Amino acid sequence: MAVKPARETVVQPAEQLRYARLLDWGTRIGLFVLVLTFAAYMSGLTRPHVPLEQLPTLWGQPVGSYLQQTQSPLGWGWLALVQRSDVAGLVGIVILAGCSLACLLALVPLYLRRGDRAFAVLCLAEVAVVLLAASGWLTGGH
Amino acid sequence: MLLRSGLGSLRLALPLAVLASASSIGGALLGLAMPANVVQMLLGGVVLGIVVLMLVTKKSEFPHVEKPDALSQALALNGIFVDGASGRVVQWQVHRTVPGLFVFLGIGVLAGMFGIGAGWANVPALNLLMGAPVKVAAGTSGLVLSLVDSSAAWVYINQGAVLPMVAVPSVVGMMLGARIGARLLNVLKGSVIRGMVITVLLFAGLRALLKGTGVWP
């Protein structure tokens, strides 16, 4: 399978490099927000929704009873509590879970310009799947 | 880093990720509805099965793909990279694309159900089934994981099943570890990568099985 093109001639496709650049930025921002909100929680700078000292007795419980005891919201309801330091941690997670959307959408014009409709459709299909998951329309659990 | 060096292939990842993402939503809903010990035992059994599969398969670092199938050719599922360990330029292509797509549909269900991703299943499927070199399989697996887990993560977030204070240290640790892993993937030999994958899978599979059966709480 190994062939002999010169090492210097090995270049990755433009869409792959664009995706890499955007994903790198998205994950850096997400990581920064995660660290910032975690530091705020641990330092006690802002009031948490669930106090740190109560957490060890609660986190081993089934999701349903944890939510009931802590009166935590479902779906996008956490946004109403985003000023609480522990809930704010979700912002970083949401950035990480959502940054692929921007990366994929940025590829669509590149693929269309090159006439690669199949991959433009695949990008849009993946975006649609992530949006469906994020919508909160799908429910389940105990 | 892996995409820039060609060790991860966006072209190979996208079709597989679309199917796996869609099925991971169903898997996540299933995982939330099943008892935790059953999920752990299933996970342990599947991972240990993959360890056996990897152990009995020889010559998987650079699988020989004689001819790509029609779908692989139509989608141009191929690539090129410079192997940092040997300095060689490696061109690759894949085959068995249709079975691969079906396998990734199943992997998506597992990824969503176990809520931990399914890199342990991606690598053997890409490498042993579709014939991608083990380094490309590992790199592309990371990309598939990021897309598939994005979908599954939303289901868990919407169900209130993500505890930020537990998730944040894990996510930060994994992201930093992934950057180190990406550098290692480029310079280590394929055989070493294969050995590491098998070792980690063996530990993870045993741990999950023992946890599910209550032997190792």
Question: Which residues of chain A make contact with B32, given a CB cutoff of 8 A?
Answer: 63, 140-142
Instruction: Supply the mean pLDDT for chain B.
Output: 83
pLDDT number for residue B55: 83
pLDDT number for residue B145: 84
Residue B198 Cα distances to A61, A108, B59, B155, B183, angstroms: 32, 37, 14, 30, 19
Average the pLDDT over A45-53 and give the result.
84
Maximum mean pLDDT: which of B10-14, B55-59, B156-160, B172-176: B10-14
Look at chain B and report how many structural domains it folds into: 1
Count of beta carbons in the 10 Å neighbourhood of residue B54: 21
Average the pLDDT over B24-29 and give the result.
80
pTM of the model: 0.81
Q: Which domain holds residue B12?
A: 2-213
Pull the structure tokens for residue A105.
Answer: 């959408």
Of B22, B91, B153, the CB nearest to A1: B91
B41: CB partners within 8 A, 6+ apart: B208, B209, B212, B213
- Across the interface, whether the CB atoms of B171 and A96 are under 8 A apart is answered yes
- Across the interface, whether the CB atoms of A129 and B168 are under 8 A apart is answered no
Find which of B86, B168, B175, B211 to mutate to test the A interface (most A CBs within 10 Å of its CB): B168
